[in-house]
Amino acid sequence: MQSNSLLGLGWLKGTALMLLLLSGVASAVEDVVSFSDESLRPRYQQLLEELRCPKCQNQNLADSNSAISQDLRAEVQRLLEQDLTDAEIKEYLKNRYSEFILYRPEVNRATGFLWAAPVVLVLLGGLIILRLSRRKMPSQGEKVVSSVRSVDQQQRLDKLLNSHKRGSE
């Protein structure tokens, strides 16, 4: 029960963070581009956001204003006009700039850990929370003290406490 509410809160925070990040993307640098068919524009935007600038590595092609990003934006536009699918365009650029250019890497041996890690960590976290919350709620009627200390230890403790009381009086 407790663990559920904790997870729920995390999800809410995650969504808030995502929205915050997305609002940043909206104000990205972009050239004025014209398409023969306006339906290409949303695909163009989508691709620019998922392709990484090889020179300025923490930016995507939509954000970066470096010379190579400008060239690659023009290249993406050219390929879109040539009727290539999104997958084909990504493949085309991957063959030249290596997998590094994909901000959403493909699932393979090198990136498998990356993809699996969040799921594994959430499951692990959930397990730990579950175990901790169970441990803190002992079944009713059971005395906490007796489960922690042995009778022998309890007697010694009582004796020590009593002698201390006498000494301070």
Partner 1 sequence: MNRLTLFIPFALCLALGAFLFFSLGKDPLDLPSALVDEAFPEFALEELHEPERQLSTDDFDGQVLLVNVWATWCFACRVEHPWLNSLAKEGVVIVGLNYKDHRKLAQDWLQERGDPYQFSIFDPRGVLGIDLGVYGAPETYLVDAEGIIRHRRVGVVDERVWNEEFRDLYQQLVDEANAE
Instruction: Name the minimum Å distance from CB 100 to partner 1.
Output: 5
3-state secondary structure 45-91: HHHHHHEECCCCCCCECCCCCCHHHHHHHHHHHHHHHCCCCHHHHHH
Region of 159 please: left (phi>0), alpha (psi -120 to 50) or beta: alpha
Instruction: Name the minimum Å distance from CB 67 to partner 1.
Output: 7
Among 67, 87, 145, 148, binds partner 1 (CB under 8 A): 67
Instruction: Name the minimum Å distance from CB 57 to partner 1.
Output: 6
- Are 91 and 63 in contact by the 8 Å Cβ rule? The answer is no
Among 48, 72, 80, 89, binds partner 1 (CB under 8 A): 72
Q: And the tokens for 130?
A: 């579950």
Residue 119 in the binding site for partner 1 (CB under 8 A)? no
Binding residues (CB under 8 A) for partner 1: these are 54-55, 57, 67-68, 71-72, 75, 94-100
